[in-house]
Structure 1
Amino acid sequence: MKREFDVVVIGAGGRQAQAMLAAAARGTDVARWLAIDRAWRPETLAATRALGMQTREQDPLADGGTLDMLMRSTAIVANLAGPYYRTGFTVLDAAIAAGTDYLDICDDADITVPILSRDDAAKAAGVTAIIGLGSTPGVSNILIRLAVDHLNGADDVEIAWVVDAKDMTEAATKHFWHCFNLVDFDGTVHPVPLPGEMDSRVVDFPGSVGRQTVVKLAHPEPLTVPRFLPVKRAVNYGAIAPIDAHAVAAALAAVADEQQPGSTEQRTDMLVRAFQQFLTRFKGGERIGSGLQIDVHTNGNGLRYASGADTSMEEATGVPAAAGVIMLAEGDTPRGGVFAPEALSPGKFFAALRRVSLGGGGLGVYRLENGRQGEKLRIRDLMADRSEAA
């Protein structure tokens, strides 16, 4: 029996969700989509309705019965209500119970392993759940899958990214601080190291981003890539640019650390507000932009992806999520279970991404030889190689 809605989006008033909704409307009919937020801003509500979607002001996470009824009314739920280390199981468990397919943009490492443990329950219910389908994680995982397929496996994956301080909303700040709590492959969470104890490296990103110092941070890719792909090890490094903003963020992350005695949500909120005030000194300058570098290799030989562009965090995250929802709706994902993005077909994903994207991005792919960047390639050639092999 067909359900009332094709897709329900929870947390639809947020910046990343708004980018996802606009992208989805470019690629598919959204008349049977329901966008829910607990407190719509008037301009955001008007923009959502202008896309042709139905809207509702509601907090379904506040009441289990309401959430269950909502899950039974839709074929797919897109959960964009973070932080996922607080809301991670709530919507997914309700979706599995209702037989509803699920997608989120979870980028919290500490909840990733527990969420993957729902795989058996999702399979038994015939539910497909795609987690972490944004930019990083998300597109990063799928690029890694494409490289690993091309190389027929790889020992190491090394990810490095930088975000512009101008994109650091309160929600983004809380997530970024959470990344300083390193997470082992088995899900063990560690206290935030002091800034001088952090594992750091220097990365040269293309374009306006340039040379940046990044530090080892917790992220889902090191936990999912070796589980879903023939890769031995994956690591993640990240930072805010400029470095002054990053240094303050690292110090405050150690103060707000939830692993330390006496830490409270109220104290974290106070520190976040102080950091937001500090960031006002960077608001007037030129944007540095966002940078990404991914090395997929064995003994320094393999492939490198590199980009540096003035793409906002919400667009970089929301547009891939829209492509993922379309893939779920059209049956272009694996069926039955909880999957990280690297389980998706790169060819089908990039076809869906073209439908919803405004274009641009500036991602390059290169041969990596003895750890050095070499010949420039094209992503379409990597996909063509896999098509011919198949």
Structure 2
Amino acid sequence: MSKIVVLGGAGAQGLFSIEALLQRDVFDEIIVASRNVERTKQILDEKFDSPKLKAAQVDVLDKDSLTNLIKDADVVANCTGPYYALAEPIIDTVIDAGKDYVDFCDDIAAHEKIFTPEREKKAKEKGLKIIVGLGSSPGTLPLTVVHASALMDEIEEVVFYLAISDREPEGPAVLHHTMENFIGDIPVIKNGKRDVERDFEGEVYYDFGEPFGVVPVSSIGHPETFSLPRVLPNIQNISIKLALYPIEIQRTLKTLTLTGLTSTEPIEVNGQTVVPRDVTLTLLDKVTPRTELFENEHPEPLSSSAIEIRGKKDGNEILFKTLGYGNMGPATGYPLAVGAELLAQGKIEKVGLMVPGT
């Protein structure tokens, strides 16, 4: 009997991982865990009809509770967010419990906290396989760069371009993730070294083709600037640029930032201490679906990704370019399911902390 525990598997992205896991017979039992077990049961009953599925209650930050939940699991898959707040303690509990692990962590701050020599040593000593960031971005998109590297003698620059519609299914963690990684100092790789850009400093226009067309994209802090150098250390320049669609949303976010409403610095308002970003997130979370505030009809498919990889082959300049369209949910959730299955089947030989491509 093969068993997987999927933390946050009833969320907007995690449901696609569950869908993919049910399409094959690698796991005999799939435990979907969250804080609200009744809500999880309701969602699973509405979406699926499988005896393999069971709902469980857990507080992922309660070490004893999580340890008890995963004690009989072969693999732990983590779909909870925001990762910058939850990934590190979850991984510590998983390592202490001696379990293999995979997530689609897309927060660079989480990656930087997770990959420590002490944690790496502990995972290796226990023979564990801990895969961090196996979704789309990061995940399959950086793997495309690894593929391109085999076609070139050297890679000089990689730029990821992402366009995401506000009509994509999203959980509450998505807003927090966007604020955390779009605002402030944005990590990039310039001339082979880590550097930073200020929010919206690197704004350019990029043509995604129809139905998006030419839209403004701005640098976003994303794990590729951390993970790709671990796989391909000689890349000189790496950046990730994002467009929120419709473009009025991106312009609104830029205005909020310029006016200080996305700041995390506390301020006094009528004798009360408040954090501007917390207020903004609360209001955005309660507002009418944001795309409906604008006249634009949302495009189908809902999201787009492009990669431009510049390098050399036999002394000649090479441009390797990809452009794709689709939905963020399956693009994120399906790779995690594949990774979990490979772990359960023993097809991943390397042990320790790893990113896709290592």
Alpha-carbon distance between aligned partners in 2 of 1:206 and 1:284, rounded to the nearest angstrom = 17
Does 1:225 find its partner at 2:225? Answer: no
Among 260, 263, 266, which residue is 2:275 paired with?
263
Give the CA RMSD over aligned residues.
Answer: 2.8
Query: Runs (4+) of structure 1 moved beyond 4 Å?
Result: 185-192, 259-262, 274-277
Counterpart code for 1:94: T
Does 1:249 find its partner at 2:238? Answer: no
Alpha-carbon distance between aligned partners in 1 of 2:75 and 2:340, rounded to the nearest angstrom = 8
Counterpart code for 2:173: A
Pairs within 5 Å for 1:6-21:
6-21=3-18
Does 1:38 find its partner at 2:35? Answer: yes
Q: Structure 2-normalised TM-score?
A: 0.84
Pairs within 5 Å for 1:1-390:
6-39=3-36, 40-41=39-40, 43-47=42-46, 50-117=49-116, 118-167=119-168, 169=170, 170-180=172-182, 181-184=184-187, 193=199, 195=200, 198-230=201-233, 231-252=235-256, 255-258=261-264, 263=275, 266-273=278-285, 277-282=289-294, 285-288=297-300, 289-298=302-311, 301-307=318-324, 309=325, 311-343=326-358
Alpha-carbon distance between aligned partners in 1 of 2:56 and 2:63, rounded to the nearest angstrom = 16
Q: Once the two structures are superposed, what CA deviation does each residue of 1:310-334 show, in whole Å capped at 9, x if it has no partner?
A: x222122111111111122222334
Tell me: CA distance 1:185–1:207, structure 2 relative to 1, closer, same or farther (3 Å): closer
Q: Once the two structures are superposed, what CA deviation does each residue of 1:62-91 show, in whole Å capped at 9, x if it has no partner?
A: 421111222322111001111001101121
Q: How many residues are aligned here?
A: 335
What is the DSSP-based 3-state SS (H/G/I as helix, E as strand, rest coil) of the residue aligned with 2:74?
strand
Alpha-carbon distance between aligned partners in 1 of 2:188 and 2:53, rounded to the nearest angstrom = 41
Q: Once the two structures are superposed, what CA deviation does each residue of 1:323-375 show, in whole Å capped at 9, x if it has no partner?
A: 111122222334211111122xxxxxxxxxxxxxxxxxxxxxxxxxxxxxxxx
Moved more, 93-102 or 253-262: 253-262
Moved more, 81-90 or 168-177: 168-177
Is the 1:226–1:233 contact (alpha carbons within 8 Å) kept by the matching residues of 2? no
Alpha-carbon distance between aligned partners in 1 of 2:220 and 2:266, rounded to the nearest angstrom = 18
What is the DSSP-based 3-state SS (H/G/I as helix, E as strand, rest coil) of the residue aligned with 2:150?
helix
Q: Which runs of 5+ in 2 are unaligned?
A: 268-273
Is the 2:6–2:77 contact (alpha carbons within 8 Å) kept by the matching residues of 1? yes
Is the 1:30–1:52 contact (alpha carbons within 8 Å) kept by the matching residues of 2? no
Alpha-carbon distance between aligned partners in 1 of 2:297 and 2:102, rounded to the nearest angstrom = 36
Counterpart code for 1:159: F
Q: Once the two structures are superposed, what CA deviation does each residue of 1:222-246 show, in whole Å capped at 9, x if it has no partner?
A: 1110121142331111110121111
Q: Structure 1-normalised TM-score?
A: 0.77
Alpha-carbon distance between aligned partners in 2 of 1:283 and 1:87, rounded to the nearest angstrom = 37
Alpha-carbon distance between aligned partners in 2 of 1:188 and 1:229, rounded to the nearest angstrom = 14
Alpha-carbon distance between aligned partners in 2 of 1:116 and 1:314, rounded to the nearest angstrom = 26
User: Which structure has the highest strand share of the two?
Assistant: 2
Is the 1:151–1:302 contact (alpha carbons within 8 Å) kept by the matching residues of 2? no
Report percent identity of matched pairs. 23
Alpha-carbon distance between aligned partners in 2 of 1:340 and 1:62, rounded to the nearest angstrom = 23
Q: Shift in Å at residue 128 of structure 1? A: 0.7
Q: Shift in Å at residue 201 of structure 1? A: 1.4
What is the DSSP-based 3-state SS (H/G/I as helix, E as strand, rest coil) of the residue aligned with 2:13?
helix
Counterpart code for 1:119: E
What is the DSSP-based 3-state SS (H/G/I as helix, E as strand, rest coil) of the residue aligned with 1:107?
coil
Q: Shift in Å at residue 37 of structure 1? A: 2.1
Q: Once the two structures are superposed, what CA deviation does each residue of 1:32-80 show, in whole Å capped at 9, x if it has no partner?
A: 2211122225541204661332322312314211112223221110011
Alpha-carbon distance between aligned partners in 2 of 1:127 and 1:212, rounded to the nearest angstrom = 43
Q: Once the two structures are superposed, what CA deviation does each residue of 1:116-155 show, in whole Å capped at 9, x if it has no partner?
A: 2232221122111111111111111111111112214312
Is the 1:103–1:325 contact (alpha carbons within 8 Å) kept by the matching residues of 2? yes
Alpha-carbon distance between aligned partners in 2 of 1:26 and 1:285, rounded to the nearest angstrom = 33
Is the 2:12–2:169 contact (alpha carbons within 8 Å) kept by the matching residues of 1? no
Q: Once the two structures are superposed, what CA deviation does each residue of 1:147-179 show, in whole Å capped at 9, x if it has no partner?
A: 112214312111111101211633322211211
Alpha-carbon distance between aligned partners in 2 of 1:252 and 1:55, rounded to the nearest angstrom = 42
Q: Which runs of 5+ in 1 are unaligned?
A: 344-390
Alpha-carbon distance between aligned partners in 1 of 2:232 and 2:284, rounded to the nearest angstrom = 37
Alpha-carbon distance between aligned partners in 1 of 2:266 and 2:226, rounded to the nearest angstrom = 23
Is the 1:256–1:271 contact (alpha carbons within 8 Å) kept by the matching residues of 2? no
